[in-house]
Amino acid sequence: MAYGVIQFVEAGRRVATLVRTENGQPTGADGVMDVLSAFIEETAGRMLRQGSPGGLYLAELFTAREVEAGRPIRVLGGSGELGMSTDEVERLEGRGFFYDVVVGAEGDRSPPTVHMTPLSDPPRR
């Protein structure tokens, strides 16, 4: 099992952090990188024409899409049903991956970029 921490950064400032508690690996049918890439492809055309709606709004749209698809997504530091604390993240098991989604400031017409970094190595046997 893998988990993914997805940080949305707008104009160099972190605006939202999401946590995929399962299927956080980069590739595969439910892999984070594949799903994020599809999301960006679908929204990039509109963004290039109208300018970025901002990182927080994109994080909200992505969260709604994840919830609708039935994928386990949480909001780091959030409250309520989707909220998750840093202690809960530290207790997650399996391999971790960090995704940095870089978004231009509101009105910026450049598409977002995604960078992935492994957080932990798989257990040695």
The pLDDT tens digits of the residues spanning 56-100 come to: 888 999 999 999 999 999 999 998 899 999 999 999 999 999 999
In the block, tokens 């993240």 appear at 89
22's tokens: 């399962």
Quick check: is 117 in a domain?
no
Q: What is the pTM of this model?
A: 0.88
The string of pLDDT tens digits covering residues 11-51 is 889 999 999 999 999 998 789 998 998 898 888 777 767 76
Residue 10's closest CA among 53, 52, 55?
A: 55
**Domain carrying residue 62:** 6-111
Between β-strands 113-118 and 2-10, what pairing exists: parallel, antiparallel or unpaired?
unpaired
Is 121 part of a structural domain of the chain?
no
Domain contains 42: yes
Angle (nearest 5°) at CA 54 between 79 and 74: 25
Domain total in the chain: 1
Domain-embedded: residue 70: yes
